[in-house]
Amino acid sequence: MPAFAGFDSYGYPGDETMDWFKANTNLVWCGYYLAPSSSHNNPSWMGKQAALAAAGWGIAPVYVGQQVIPPGSMNPTTATGQTDGAQAAGYMASEGFPAGSYVYLDLENGPPLTPAQQDYVIAWSAAVLSGGYKPGVYCSHLLADAVAALQTGCRIWTFRISATPPPMANPYPELDPGAVFAGATIWQHVQNCSIPVSAASLKVDLNSASLADPGAPDVAG
């Protein structure tokens, strides 16, 4: 099964850096943080969707909502799930993502998946669907089974990080996400990795996906 290297970064790296990545690396997609949200206040990715898509980037939209560990807001409930899911869908529309695109809810914790967090994920997913988009979830590989069971058709972006990651070099790893969780769309395998950008460097998380555009709508047929 083919796999596609990608990255995510808390803040937008800048147009020149994105152009350099496109011309000089095998990175083909990027995370795209929808903000401000309850737990992510850097809106620097916003407004970049059209230009990134035109440049050929695949995009995985990310919404950092209520958490059960700090930092960020820690109030996962059905009500906050409904509010945050509606906000995520609204951002998807205003940023120009096609209807049916996937947006990934960011869950930073490991086990357990608490009842309140389950209620939050279910309500968030329902609100995203009502807004014309589809839910995905970024979560620990130790939670992937439980999260996937909450919403049929949810795309899973799982993280399993090596305690001693190998040195990273271009071309970046193209790993099968299914090796971590069967049916996963994305595997985040390295966090806080400094990678060269022309004469400088940038700290990013490295990922591998089963799709070149992990946020794209499902293909009919």
- pLDDT, one tens digit per residue, over 200-216 is 889 999 999 999 999 99
Q: Is the pLDDT at 15 greater than 70, yes or no?
A: yes
Partner residues linked to 63 by β-bridges? 105
* Closest alpha carbon to 104 in 88, 127, 90: 88
Cα–Cα distance measured from residue 34 to residue 176, given in angstroms and rounded to the nearest whole number: 26
The per-residue pLDDT for 162 is 79
- Identify which of 220, 168, 219, 160 has the alpha carbon closest to the alpha carbon of residue 184: 160
CA-wise closest residue to 208 among 181, 178, 177: 177
pLDDT at 165: 66
Query: Average model confidence (pLDDT) for the chain?
Result: 95
State yes or no: pLDDT of 180 exceeds 90: yes
pLDDT band at 21 (very low <50, low <70, confident <90, very high): very high
pLDDT-derived band at 198 (thresholds 50, 70, 90) equals confident
Tokens 């009842």 correspond to 115
DSSP label of 106:
E
Q: Specify which residues 58 forms β-bridges with.
A: 29
Tell me the pLDDT tens digit for each residue of 96-136: 999 999 999 999 999 999 999 999 999 999 999 999 999 99
Q: Can the peptide bond before residue 112 be classed as cis, meaning omega within 30 degrees of 0?
A: yes
pLDDT at 170 over 90: yes
Q: How far apart are the first and last CA of the chain?
A: 19
What residue ranges define each of the domains in the chain, with the CATH number in brackets? 4-209 (3.20.20.80)
Whether the bond into 171 is cis, omega within 30 of 0: yes
Report pTM.
0.97
Report how far residue 173's alpha carbon sits from residue 169's, in angstroms, rounded to the nearest whole number.
9
Amino acid identity of residue 100, one-letter, is: G
How many Å apart are CA 144 and CA 53, to the nearest integer?
A: 29
- Is the pLDDT at 151 greater than 70? The verdict is yes
